[in-house]
Structure 1
Amino acid sequence: MLSCETKYPVMLVHGMGFRDRKIFNYWGRIPKELEKRGCKVFYGNQDANATIHDNAVMLRKSLYNALEKSESEKVNIIAHSKGGIDSRYLISSLKEYNRIASLSTIDAPHNGSETVDFLMKFPDILVKLTGKITDFFMYIQGDRKPDSYRVFHELTTDYMKKFNSENPDIPEVYYQSFGFRMKNPFSDIIMAFPYSVIRLIEHSDTDGLLTERAMRWTNFRGMYTSPERRGISHCDATDLRRRAFSKKKPQNEYEVSDIVDFYVELVSELKEMGL
């Protein structure tokens, strides 16, 4: 059995639209399996739809809490979707790089979304209204500082180009990035519509929300999918359905039969690196 007993604890950082909850864990079966294999797991506990800056400030509080409870000098961050961008800001702009050993991002919009660029061409009043309605539901969900309108803008390619120039990688931190892809719109009924829209606009493989162009960042490890016809969606990447994708064994390094195995291998690699 692979060991996940890393030198530094792992802090899991969720993406947009969700929060860390005990009853319905954003990360499904993943944390329990990592802990079973010796890993100390903590959570980001940032807002679902706050800005990159505001979420990074919240992450800093969670970071300090994790360091205190684990009596460790650093953490390894594993971040999904926009959580990866929040984490990069925490490292570079908030200068917490001395407290972070590594950042592994999963399906993160490092280069912005061309589909969001297209959607932002709709009348601004409509975009603002959508943001306000979203903020209302995020506030009910527990967000302290939801600002969906600004977050929409932060996901554009122009904004992320500026963000990347202002938040370069820090040599002291080990970075790696991963992506997943659906094989067809029926891979995930939740992602079927956005998958079809993105394929129409960007003509590229996608996890239902982002393409490889958006996800690709430092030490990009590739686009992963399942051995079955369904592939792996943006939601599948954090074990939304709490079950394996397939009983078939992966035929190559880019196939994943159970998302839990993917995270076990990721953390096991960090352990072998002395992190």
Structure 2
Amino acid sequence: MRITPFATGNPKRTFNPNPSTRARPNMTLAERAVRSLAAMKPNPQPPLLRLRHPLVLMHGFGVLAAFGRGGMLHEQAMHLRKRGVWAFAPNVSPYHTVSARADQWGARLTHILRETDADQVHLVAHSMGGLDARFLVSRRGWAERVATLTTVSTPHRGTSAADFVMEQPDRLIALLAAAAEWLGRQILPDDDASDFTRAVRELRPAHVQGTFNPATPDAPSVDYRSYAGRAGRGTDVPINPFFRLLNHVIYEREGVNDGYVATESARWGDFRGALDADHARQVGLAAGGLRRVPAADAFYRTLAQDLADEEDDRR
């Protein structure tokens, strides 16, 4: 299944609270001007999305999406809050191992459950955040407190981008690690134990498929679903120049990808489709992080609506 265009939402859910504000035939120029500038709607606010459980957005590896945004997925969480969703987007170490990040997520989720007095959460995890979430559920005892886990472009079978990084000269890897860990400490001041090199090794296909997946079985009580991304080579979807090199590398080794994760690697549980978006656009960024992608807000809003609809069906 291919989702095209990216994150436009379900057209059946279009909300038009007051069609009478549209211009009518034979209106005077003055009437049209006033209507276009100052017409009020009886119910101008968008409909509320009523979720029984809080929705937690979990970010992935790196800090690209954090600059000027308060966090990787902070803006998407605030967009959902405007729709009435108890949405949260905590931040954890951007350059640490899955187990270390999972422990940090556990602390963040405990705080959220206390704040909301909820007994479960919905997790929506982007990229490496999906591996963190699976580890948290399977190996940190969170299965009973997680209602659903939706992953978006998570490398469930690893990513050859990690192989490519680890194939570089040791000196270059050391420089990358030092720079990444320094940057991580500045962005998240209480992050004093990043481990860039180990984190990258844990994203290699051999490790994810040979070690992580066998040791991290799905919890029967948790509903797993996933989305992939596609852009660049092998598609007609443009890709952020930042990802162009990795897009070519991954395409040669794994096929169609979003610049960081192969489309096939992102499949897990109930596969919901592929987004026509590169890895950055999936979290609302384009043009090197200088321009927002409103379609990402619509995508996460649609996810929340789907979860709300499913909760209603179970009642």
Q: TM-score range by the shorter chain?
A: 0.7 to 0.9
Aligned to 1:13, which of 58, 75, 85?
Answer: 58
Q: Please tell me the root mean square deviation across aligned C-alpha atoms, in Å.
A: 2.2
The superposition leaves residues 164-186 of structure 1 with CA deviations (integer Å, 9 ceiling, x where unpaired) of 11111101111111011114585
Alignment of 1:39-188 (within 5 A): 39-124=85-170, 126-142=172-188, 143-161=191-209, 162-183=211-232, 186-188=238-240
Equivalent residues of 1:111, 1:214 under 8 A apart? yes
Q: Is the alpha carbon distance of 1:141 and 1:37 closer, same or farther for their aligned partners in structure 2, counting shifts above 3 Å?
A: closer
**Letter paired with 2:212:** F
Aligned to 1:38, which of 70, 84, 95?
Answer: 84
Q: Is the alpha carbon distance of 1:221 and 1:77 closer, same or farther for their aligned partners in structure 2, counting shifts above 3 Å?
A: same
Identify which range, 15-24 or 258-267, moves more after superposition: 15-24
SS at match of 2:132: helix
The unaligned stretches of length 5 or more in structure 1 are: 226-231, 245-257
Match of 1:193 in 2: 245
Q: Is the alpha carbon distance of 1:108 and 1:33 closer, same or farther for their aligned partners in structure 2, counting shifts above 3 Å?
A: same
Equivalent residues of 1:115, 1:201 under 8 A apart? no
Identify which range, 43-52 or 177-186, moves more after superposition: 177-186
**Letter paired with 1:32:** M
Equivalent residues of 1:114, 1:156 under 8 A apart? yes
Identify which range, 65-74 or 131-140, moves more after superposition: 131-140
How far did 1:126 drift? Answer: 4.1
Alignment of 1:267 with 2:307, yes or no, is no
Match of 2:282 in 1: 237
Alignment of 1:242-261 (within 5 A): 242-244=292-294, 258-261=295-298
How far did 1:48 drift? Answer: 0.6
Identify which range, 55-64 or 129-138, moves more after superposition: 129-138
Equivalent residues of 2:281, 2:293 under 8 A apart? no
Alignment of 1:217 with 2:268, yes or no, is yes
**Letter paired with 1:236:** R
How far did 1:6 drift? Answer: 0.8
Identify which range, 258-267 or 26-35, moves more after superposition: 26-35
How far did 1:144 drift? Answer: 2.8
Q: Give runs of ≥4 in structure 1 deviating > 6 Å.
A: 19-22
Match of 1:254 in 2: none
Q: Is the alpha carbon distance of 1:72 and 1:271 closer, same or farther for their aligned partners in structure 2, counting shifts above 3 Å?
A: same
Q: Aligned partners of 2:177, 2:76: CA distance in 1, in Å?
A: 31
SS at match of 1:34: helix
Q: Aligned partners of 2:69, 2:168: CA distance in 1, in Å?
A: 37
TM-score by length of 2: 0.74
TM-score by length of 1: 0.85
Identify which range, 82-91 or 1-10, moves more after superposition: 1-10
The superposition leaves residues 107-134 of structure 1 with CA deviations (integer Å, 9 ceiling, x where unpaired) of 1111101342244234445434432332
Q: Is the alpha carbon distance of 1:110 and 1:98 closer, same or farther for their aligned partners in structure 2, counting shifts above 3 Å?
A: same
The unaligned stretches of length 5 or more in structure 2 are: 1-14, 16-46, 286-290
SS at match of 1:45: coil
